[in-house]
Structure 1
């Protein structure tokens, strides 16, 4: 049986509640919504659109799939079944026409959003000769409403099969296919893209980066990861312009923990005096910058335009009040864990 056709018939059954059998005369394509197919030939094979066959108790109808003529059937021969047959036939035909009418970018948008089945994606790849290679999704967000301007600029970076789609009023998604011979780092590429967009258009953007997908079949997962990275960066007020899903795996794990449990864990880890440090904007932003710069005092001082001694004073103060010396990796990890939990609790 054809898996794509089966998937389509099952979606129609969800709308109508009626079991459907379908096949081409050559049996090149066949599918059913039943556990066991009930393929029956109509008594009259030359009917036009609908044929109620009293002999076998089924209503037959014609429709097209992959440019082939198919026969579908449902149980019953009354007026109700005839109306259902017309309705099902129109759904199947419109579904086929809609998919055929959509262009490359429109279908790619549906694939990115996860609206296409695996079979539909494979059909798309065959139709447009899309290579079965690794690819990635970069979600590019701007708060100025200049999405079309950003999209036009991003097109400069698109290869032959790459695609730029407008995913909402504020976001553009670049689907980029990777040459197997090249070493591609999405985060590095994204940082260069942020700078170029700013230099060329004056628009400030933030980019969410998902994992590199094995092929187009997995691109929706990469897109979801990229959008989650952007969402979490907003929650945590991260100042960087590029946000990788890998940076927020811990956040995602803790987000699934009930808030009352997070509160219990937090009370076990810090007292009221220590919590005050996390609520002090200056102290907290200093600590976060220190963590973002790999616990490097010199680099953090440079980024914050802060004297080295002032930074060390603040790190010492954080250690006194929280009992965490974030110059040590283990304490830095604990500090980050506490800060995430406090943000999630609100």
Structure 2
């Protein structure tokens, strides 16, 4: 029975390679409806691979007894010319409707790959296995589609329409989230993911998580696991995105509290562990400029928010018996009792005090560092 099963798997792999070679030649000759052809071919080949068992251990993956790892590699190689074509069109600003359709087909391919086989694979960044490398390649193709990663993760409908059934969508996004937040997010090539998520997430909790991971990567680089993206001049563009308030001085501090506190903690860490950053005078000056600009806006935000909430608190105290409709920025309190309203306002003021204390500490550290330099 085992020999019979092995024979079936070998036949599947042989047919896969025969079809792959044939389909590739046909696709290269297509002028019209190439995107649709690529989509059909990738989908058909992926269905064939779905019959092959996914290796669960390192030994199984290295042996690749059933050929799945080799086939996955061949499949991404098949897709690569079309990925490069899309990238080149984007660089030259020549993207057409056909190119957008190609991106859609590549996106479908990536999402199917995340579901099968990657969701079932034992992916670990400490072990650069064949399926790990396949995951890296899939994420690279996904990046080329220009689809918002935050949109893929947090919304049920995507910019390019309903692409796959709901069940597959959830499983694909689960694998994507795992790769981003648990595994791939620490790879050298993934500052681009950080930047993309910071630009598009519009979710303070997600952004706070990203900032925390950036701090972890900087810390790791300072301890000897050097990564140019998190220690050298390439870190500055990332910090500019981190040290940014979405609405400037009008930013709602309570809604964005998680990200702001993580950002302030990151700043404090950078100033305390400043020796490696000071090795580049220009980088240190630029970091200080970004820091000063950010803290200035944060202070203005705190001042404006505190004044607003203090005024509301004073008004509430003057007529504690009056039930009135009021909105504390995005926190609606009209249905609350005066006592609860009072607690909400007091809590907000405590939050502002906490933020300000961290800002003050950062400024104290800066002054201490400057005094030592002189």
Q: State the TM-score bracket (shorter-chain normalisation).
A: under 0.3
Answer with 1 or 2: which has the greater Rg.
Answer: 1
Q: Which one has the bigger strand percentage?
A: 1
Q: Which one has the bigger helix percentage?
A: 2
- Whose RCO is larger (CA < 8 A, sep 6+)? 2
When normalised by structure 2's length, the TM-score is 0.24
When normalised by structure 1's length, the TM-score is 0.26
